[in-house]
Structure 1
């Protein structure tokens, strides 16, 4: 694995109004790895992702993506650098078809390349190909999550941000999402993930960090912690 981080977060401070959420968080994401952010509600996990993709503006600190400072850039500029997020809300257009939602992920790419990328998404998500003409609102929650992930992948991101990818899904769909993430890992997609389902969090991650009150308080290699997940849980919630 390369020794230079793809993403470098340094002393990041973010708040909403006068309420501080991130208070000096620092961490790296290496190329090709999946880093999972763990922590109790309100610890700053989703805020951290939103700061990386530009949905919230840091009050201070640095977000370096492949050597370029992106903190404070608008979301469309950050997206153009190769960062795509699948948010908790999914942010789909419910009355548009599945295919139209997917195509929105690759608006910068046209013609044959877009068609090839779309076929690749359908190969990854055969169920979406079957439903490609349906309004997205007619799909189940798990299928809509597949559309959200597929749309992000249509941009061929260099960094994929996943905010609670299993949130609100049935065990069957949690397993399907886990298999999708497994495949992305094998393909070398770099991922930064927030996930409350610890089974999925540890299955997917190479490393994890624990946020508490907006600061990084712990972290490590998932394989080195195998069998000791109880200790991690205690660090998160106690």
Structure 2
């Protein structure tokens, strides 16, 4: 438990670091290409272009929610958003250079290298950072604890999803249910206690995520649990029973 909050308590700082990292990669790689070319002397123009490109990319990436928590987005989704954001950025820069007639000031192979290799570098540092996070989570750092209220079919589905995707750093810590064992579905997951015990753990800061997976007809109890857990530091989520919802709205 003592290792859990290493990154969790600094999420805003890390989100800022992600943006700065992208900016540094975009600008520094342009400078590398310019310095490497002995025939290029217009450093200022390349620097300005790289800064305009980095700002454009950050705006596009922000609109695509690239910098949201990595726990809530898949790596494939991040790759897609990153590539689309960079493609739009390159299209914008190309149009600016072409219609302003200043493209003749730039070496084509430098721009081509910058356009093509930069997204690879942006992806590379993310892969490396994810590997570091995965190692830290394996060592017990940067993890969050999740519990589920109600051992229902959709609760079991959620539990299986959490167990299958531990790379997100969310560790499933069991079910809590008020019902007797003979009323519960067959499951490999034991009941760790009643809702009162779950509430005590949440108040002590031992739980980060509370998922309420109760049937919709138990709306009064659901409302009561939501109110009680709102007084804790845990993030509380209501997992909808889509089967019941569809029956009610069919």
TM-score, length basis structure 2:
0.26
Structure with the greater relative contact order (CA < 8 A, sep ≥ 6): 1 or 2?
A: 1
**TM-score between the two structures when normalised by the length of structure 1:** 0.27
User: Whose helix fraction is larger, Structure 1's or Structure 2's?
Assistant: 2
Which structure has the highest strand share of the two? 1
